Structures are given as C-alpha cells and as structure tokens.
Structure 1
Amino acid sequence: DYSTPEQDIPASALPGGRLWETCMTINDTWGYAKNDTNWKSVEDLTRKLIDIASKGGNFLLNVGPMPSGEFPQAIQERLARMGDWMKANGTSVYSTTQCPFRNLPFDGRCTVNGSKLYLEVFNWPSDGLKLADLDTQVLSARSLDGNEELKVSITGVVRTSGKNGPWVVSISKPSKLDSIATVVELDLAGPPQIAATNLAVLPEASGAYNLDAGLAEVHGKTIQYDWQGVRREDFIGSWTDAGDFVTWTLNLPAAKKFQVEISYACPQGNEGSAFTAGVEGGASLSGVAQATKGERDFRTDSLGELTVPAGLHRLEVRVTKLAHAQAMNLHRLRLVPVR
C-alpha cells in the first residue's frame, strides 16, 4: 500500500517504510488555467524534489499544456532549469534512499546510495559544513558539480575501545556554490551508521514533545501509518493485532516529569480497547479508547503524569486488550513539562 499526499510534503519519511508520492502542481491549478500565473520558482521546485527524495518519496509534478498542446513559456523555463541542476547533481536523487539522520546540523537534506552519502546544502554554513553523529568512516569527499575534491577533517574522539566515538566531520567549501543546492558526495567505508542520539525527537521551545504519528517507529504485522494528503490528520491505524506497538526515541539531559496527552480517533463500534503509554521497560500510564464520530475525528485524553528518566529512552504505546476489530487511529502523544 502507499500514500499520495497532494500539494503537501510529509515532515519526515513515512513510518514502517510505507511508500509514498507527493502530487503537486507547478502553479496552483491542476491542468491549464490562463489566469493562474502563480508559478513556483525553480529554487522552490528543485528543493521540493530534494526534500521528497531525502524522505524516500516520489515527486509527481503536474504541468498543464495550453489548448495548442504546448507548455506555457514559464513551465518550459522552470523544467529546463531543473533539468540543468539534475544534469550536474542527479546522482544525489536517482536510485537513492532516504536520509538516515533525523536531525541535520545544516540547512539542507541528505540522501544515500549504498556507501555514498549525499549532502544537499541549501545555504553553505558561515562557520563551515559539519556533520555530527555519523559513525561510519569518511574516505573522501567531492562536489558533484565540477567534481572538485574536498578536504575532510575530523575533530573529537575517533575510536574508543575499538568502537566509533563521538566525532565531527568537517568538509571544505567548494569553489563553486549552487544557489539551489550544492551537493557534496561523501564516500564512506560502508553504509552509513548513525548514532542513536540523532534519532531522538527534539522538543519545542517550551520543552514539550509532540510525538506525532509521522515521527513514530511502527512495530508489528498489521499496524501502519496512514496519510492521504490531509495536513495534520495523519494517524497510525490498521491496529488489529494487540502485539503491534509504536515507539518514539527521546534523549533527555535530566529526568523530567510530564503531563501525557494522547490524541486518537476510534469510530463507533471499535471503542473499548485498553492501552498503555510510557517508557519502554519502565513506568507507564493506562487508558481506554473512547468512541469518536469517524476515523479522523480525533479526541485528546489526558492520561496523567509520567517521569521520563535522563538519557536515551523509547516512549511506547501498546494495546493491552483489543476490544473489537481495531484498537484506534493514533494521531499524537504529547508530553507537556510539569512546572
């Protein structure tokens, strides 16, 4: 199965490896509309393509021909300039897979093809391009446009007791920068391995955590992520096996107490399933799914207070009793600090 969001791009790769494709217009209209001249810029379109590729998706770009069968000049110009960028940098898009990082320290994206890691840098950092949390050795670096060899330097501990330690990889600035995206190819000693701390969900400025469905890891036989193009109405559904569960990774500098809220939908006739939300292998809170009007009619229940220990931990939601065919459609788990 697959998802086809329209005019929108998910915040991250879809959980469970779910296939997806963004369908988007080059202006605001499907097909040709004489008065619609709100064309997306070349930079915007190309960066959208890069963003989608970095999240493991496909990009279906709708272009509307005029009654004569020809494309408007504005479309021709944009496609030609996107093509120019792809001629120089297409290796970072074609046959690549999603970015293995959750958090990147620069303005851009990344993609992977085997032991090649591609960094698509939108704006070159003023203090230089750096990459943290990569546990695989970097053998060499080059810019795709111009094939310029770039210098790689490493700071921090490279090896600790035979294991990769915390290091920061710095890549020199190429002589030619692209205003759309400058692509750097890193040749690694093997497929990229990422430090577990990089996979943690980041908090809001308030210290609260929004553990959205789109950020979850899904575990099980039937459970899956569902998004058909409606912003903020995605969910983890098809929860027909009580053994299935979802997790999110957190990395707290110190133990903290949170008020836990859960948002879900449960169409009438499926209510009554019992569930827990808590720290994997630790404390948890319990709840019972209540009926809602439809599969996207989300309600929010407060489950109580939960203390999350310091360090790297996984938060999980599990079904402890399946009352009917499906447990619920899980939209979000939210952790709000208790002051």
Structure 2
Amino acid sequence: MKKTTAFLLIILFCSSMMFSQTEITQNERMQWWRDARFGLFIHWGLYAIPAGEWEEKEIPGIGEWIMKRAQIPAEKYRDLANRFNPIKFNAHDFVLTAKNAGMKYIVITSKHHDGFAMFKSEASRYNIVDATPYGKDIIKQLADECHRQGLKICFYYSQSRDWNEPNGLDNDWDFPKERDFQKYLDEKVKPQLTELLTNYGPIGLIWFDTPMTISQEQAQSLKDLVRKLQPKCIISGRLGGGVQTDYISTGDNVIPGNVDRSDWEVPATLNNTWGFKKNDHNWKSSKDLTRLLFDIVSKGGNYLLNVGPDAEGKIPEASVNILTEVGNWMKINREAIYETKASPFQTEFNWGCVTQKDNKLHLGIFDWKKGDFYLEGLENKVEKIYLLSDRTKNALKFQQTFNKNINHHRLNFQLPDKAPDNAVSVVVVETDGIPKVEQGIYQQADRSITLSTFQAATFKNGKSEEIKSTSRGGGVDLTDKNIQFSWNFNVEKKGNYKIDIVTTETGSHGDPLWQGGHEIRIISGNQTKDIVIERDKDEYNPRTQYWKKIHTNGGVLRFDEPGQYKIELIPVSIFKGKSGFTFQEINLRPLE
C-alpha cells in the first residue's frame, strides 16, 4: 500500500508538470470531438475466451457480462488469464480498420467489469502483462499506433463495478455484502487511472461506465484527477454521483427522436453484443449503419460503434468488411459528417435527415424517388443545389415559393432518375447565409402533418412543464396523467384527416417492452376523440433498430378551411404495467 501511494504521488507530480501548463476552455476541450462525429468502440478482454459459452452452455446476454450472468467464481474466472494469448493482435490493423471506416477516435476497454486490465499496472497484477502468457501491453501498442496514424486514443474504464475485487461493486455471488468501496477507489481505481493518464501520451477521453452507488464526492474526486493529470481529456457521461461531465452518453444503442444541441454520443453495437460471442452473427448492414450515422449526426450527436475482437486478437472479418463499406461511403460524403452541426429543422423527415455546415445544408436522402422533391420551411434564398457525389457540382433545377396566407416557404427541386448511393444519397443546398428555417408546424407537400412530442407545448395542472424523451424508442415514457400536450399548426388543404397515434417500444435492446390500455382524449375545436391505446399495427423503425413504432387508429378529424388549428392531447388514464404511455407523435394523413 505504501509503495502504491508513493508511486501515485510521484506520477501526480510529474504529470502535473507535463499536462497542466496552460488553461483550456470547455469549447477548446470539446472541439476535436465535436468535429470527429464518428468513433470506434472496442470491447476486449478475458471474456473473449468463453465467447458466450461456459461449461458447454450458451449464456444469454452480452458477451462481456458472462462472469456475472453465469455467476462464475472470481477464482475460476481468473484462470482464463492463463489462456489469454492474443498473438494475432496487430495494433496497426486495428487503427487502420477504424481509419478506413472514417472514424476519428478509438475507445478501448482498459478495464471492464471483470476487473482485468489490458495494460501493465502496478496497482494490480491482474493485468495482461503480469497474468497472461502474452505478456505485452495492449493499451500501449494501440495508443502508440493511434498517435502514429493521427487518431485520438481514448480509454473505457469501469470505475464502480469490479467483479474481481471484494471491495468493488456488484459481485454478490463471491464476496460479502459489506465492502469498503472507498478503499477500492483509493487502491485500484485512482492508481490505474493515473497510469492510463500518464503512461500513454495525450488521451482524448476517459469513458466511465455504470456508476451504480458512487457518491458525488467520490465521482468528483475522479473528475478532479482526470482534470489534474490531463486537462484536455474529455470525461464521458457515465461518471455518476450527479457530477457534471463533458457530454451525455445515451443508453446503449439509444438514438434520440429529436435534435439535441448539447454534446452527446450514442454507444452502439455492430451486432447484439459488445464483447465477442462466437454465435452472434446478427450483423447490422453497412446500409443501416450509414443511415444511423447520418441520423445521429443530423440530431447533433456522435456515433461510437463497437467491435469485439476474439481471443486471438482479431476483429471478426464480418465487422471489418461492414466497416470498410461504411468507409467507402465516407470517402465520398465525409463533408456531410465531419465538422457539421445538427439540422436546423426540428422534425424527423420520412425521406431522411439534414446536417449543416456554414451556408450549406446536406440532405441525406434514404429513400430516393426521382422527380419532385420538397423541403418545407427554408427561409433563405437558395443559390445552388447539387449532388455531393458529383465532382463537377452540376446544378439541379429548383423553385422556391412562399404562401403568404400561412407564411410558409417551400423549396422544390428535381431529383435525377438514379440515386447516387443505395444507403444515403447526399444533396447539397447552398444558401445566401446561415440557413434559417420556420419554427412553426406546417403541412408537408404530401399533405401529411406530424405533431411530435418535442414540438408540443406541455403542461401540468395548467402550468408549463418540460418533458424529456425517456423511452428508448424515441418517445416519452409518461406515467403522470396530469401532463397534457398542445400543438398549433397550419393546414393548407381542407378535408378529412386520419389520426394515427404513434407510441414506441422501450426497455433493453434485447428485451423491448410496450404497454397499451391507456386512455387519451384528442380535442380540436369542437371535435373530441376518446381513444384507447392499442397495438393496431407494428412498424420496424430503422432509426432505432431495436424498438418498434406502435400505431393506434384514432379516428378522423376534419379541417373545413386552410389556416391555423390547435390539437390537444389529454391523458384520461394511464395503465400501470410494464411501461408508461410511450408517446412519440400524432400523424395526420389526408383521406381524400
């Protein structure tokens, strides 16, 4: 213990001299990350050896959790280290895989919940150098290669869960309930974080995870340690204790349903696991991944996409091939991703997404339909429209109109017969200045009207109330029937409109949940509709992958004249069950 403390003090002194010479602003700290948009997550450790099976039985759940899921005794699990010899690991190939995919940073599990370190550590001999026949520092090799190839190296570190340590959290099958968590932080976590932040050069970020019961004071001490050792190092969103971090990490594979102009990131799997599982071949296609990347960036986020190397040190060939295909798209369309901002539009478009950079809008079109294309609500004068894949920037014909009766702008241009790409085809719209868009809700050219939760005015007992999207499928998870929603919107074409109430599944990505039976009331003028939320139709949602949209038929509303209208949604009763009222939007579709 005395040696560890002395070592920590020496490292703290030296590192403070190395990295703390100048002050850094938050914007300066975050700029590289905001520009990067796309990173590689690597989950790798001893769990790659069982690869989802223990004692000839397949263990449900994600691969890196096998120790807990199978309740493997720590002493028995440690024996895996004697077999861990990833002789096929090649740091150059790992970094090149990320680079070829268009990724700008790598986050690797330096220590996951099983407590095993993938780096040389003086704080615990349970590490890849001291405890395995491989005997080399994986983290050093990867960090050195990232520095050579120009990618940011970043470290995942499990600060609370440690199934190998009696004083770490969450191993209740081996160790007594009583534990000294502070001792664990002082004797393992802080010394190992110090090693990571002093032995491997500049570190882009520390990715903390599953904080559990860590206190505010304990979490703050970890944040202070990172700031002291490397002030430029970003701290991810799962530190815990209510301590403010540098950005928000969404739930695993969870993509918000709306634009969020704060700093946030989606950690996501390439199949259904993080750590390697030999029987998980449920790979997402490069087409789906490219669309998810564009969707996330259009909403203001970063995409941290995972691979799980096997026990020999190889990234599965299927993963490499899929990422290469995404990279081929990035080579042509990188302008629409790097250094961009979120869409100025507040709605999800059925046809795709929008990113923004300076005076350019990048329209990422998923479903290409030749001929007329309409973009609603752009106020600026358009100077030019062209395909991003067209090096000559041949101009597409366009027309701008303005409906003075409802103060609505509409842009119309002609799409060529053939889509430039089968995943996302990018059209560039150049405007006379920074793009400005209307803030109201307007009818689309196909006459549909979408009223989403994040466009609504929300109230509780007559007072304004902020509602956040908490359902993993993109909606709110409402349990309070006193919350009411209200929308003002513009109708161009009179007529009868079908009411489609959209809710979403929620829960974990491996076990989605949905609850019906809620009673709501829709009011518009003198029209009232009482509706019971039922599962009338399921719809796969490519923007969330794991959580479906659930449609409920709400009847018909009539709008007799063009103009502005109001709709209110009032919960009458919320059924108490597996989840709340996971409301996402109302779609109004013309019947004529």
Q: What range describes the TM-score normalised by the shorter chain of this pair?
A: 0.5 to 0.7
Look up the match of 1:12: 258
* Cα deviations by residue, 1:90-132 (Å, 9 ceiling, x for unpaired): 1111222222335688722211112111011223322244434
* Cα deviations by residue, 1:199-226 (Å, 9 ceiling, x for unpaired): 5699999xxx98553443679xx96443
Give the alignment of 1:276-287 within 5 angstroms.
Answer: none
Look up the match of 2:434: 191
Flag the 1:5–1:64 CA change in 2: closer, same or farther, 3 A: same
The answer to whether the Cα contact below 8 Å between 1:148 and 1:174 also exists between their aligned partners in 2 is no
Look up the match of 2:397: 153
Counterpart amino acid of 2:382? V
Q: Which structure has more strand as a fraction of its residues?
A: 1
Please report how far the alpha carbon of residue 85 of structure 1 lies from its aligned counterpart in structure 2 after TM superposition: 1.2
Please report how far the alpha carbon of residue 299 of structure 1 lies from its aligned counterpart in structure 2 after TM superposition: 6.1
SS in 2 for 1:148: coil
TM-score (normalised: structure 1): 0.63
Please report how far the alpha carbon of residue 21 of structure 1 lies from its aligned counterpart in structure 2 after TM superposition: 2.9
Please report how far the alpha carbon of residue 144 of structure 1 lies from its aligned counterpart in structure 2 after TM superposition: 2.3
Give the alignment of 1:34-183 within 5 angstroms.
Answer: 34-101=278-345, 107-155=351-399, 157=401, 166-171=409-414, 173=416, 177-183=420-426
The answer to whether the Cα contact below 8 Å between 2:255 and 2:474 also exists between their aligned partners in 1 is no
Flag the 1:12–1:249 CA change in 2: closer, same or farther, 3 A: farther
Aligned residues: 287
Look up the match of 1:271: none
> Which moves more between the two structures, 171-180 or 187-196?
171-180
Please report how far the alpha carbon of residue 32 of structure 1 lies from its aligned counterpart in structure 2 after TM superposition: 0.7
Q: Distance in 2 between matches of 1:31 and 1:75?
A: 13
Please report how far the alpha carbon of residue 55 of structure 1 lies from its aligned counterpart in structure 2 after TM superposition: 1.9
Please report how far the alpha carbon of residue 66 of structure 1 lies from its aligned counterpart in structure 2 after TM superposition: 0.8
Give the alignment of 1:255-274 within 5 angstroms.
Answer: none
Largest Rg, 1 or 2: 2
The answer to whether the Cα contact below 8 Å between 1:226 and 1:236 also exists between their aligned partners in 2 is no
**Percent of aligned positions with the same letter in both sequences?**
26
Q: Distance in 2 between matches of 1:235 and 1:200?
A: 27
Give the alignment of 1:201-216 within 5 angstroms.
Answer: 212-216=452-456
Look up the match of 2:226: none
Counterpart amino acid of 2:384? S
Structure 1, unaligned runs of 5 or more: 238-244, 259-295, 319-328
Please report how far the alpha carbon of residue 77 of structure 1 lies from its aligned counterpart in structure 2 after TM superposition: 0.9
SS in 1 for 2:393: strand
Aligned counterpart in structure 1 of residue 476 of structure 2, from 222, 234, 248:
234
Q: Distance in 1 between matches of 2:562 and 2:416?
A: 38
The answer to whether the Cα contact below 8 Å between 2:369 and 2:415 also exists between their aligned partners in 1 is no
* Cα deviations by residue, 1:236-269 (Å, 9 ceiling, x for unpaired): 89xxxxxxx97534224589999xxxxxxxxxxx
The answer to whether the Cα contact below 8 Å between 2:257 and 2:469 also exists between their aligned partners in 1 is no
RMSD, aligned α-carbons: 5.0
Look up the match of 2:123: none
Q: Distance in 2 between matches of 1:218 and 1:29?
A: 37
> Which moves more between the two structures, 61-70 or 36-45?
61-70
Q: Which structure has more helix as a fraction of its residues?
A: 2
Q: Distance in 1 between matches of 2:469 and 2:366?
A: 28
Flag the 1:304–1:192 CA change in 2: closer, same or farther, 3 A: closer
Q: Distance in 2 between matches of 1:144 and 1:257?
A: 40
Counterpart amino acid of 1:192? P
The answer to whether the Cα contact below 8 Å between 2:273 and 2:280 also exists between their aligned partners in 1 is yes
Q: Distance in 2 between matches of 1:332 and 1:81?
A: 33
SS in 2 for 1:5: coil
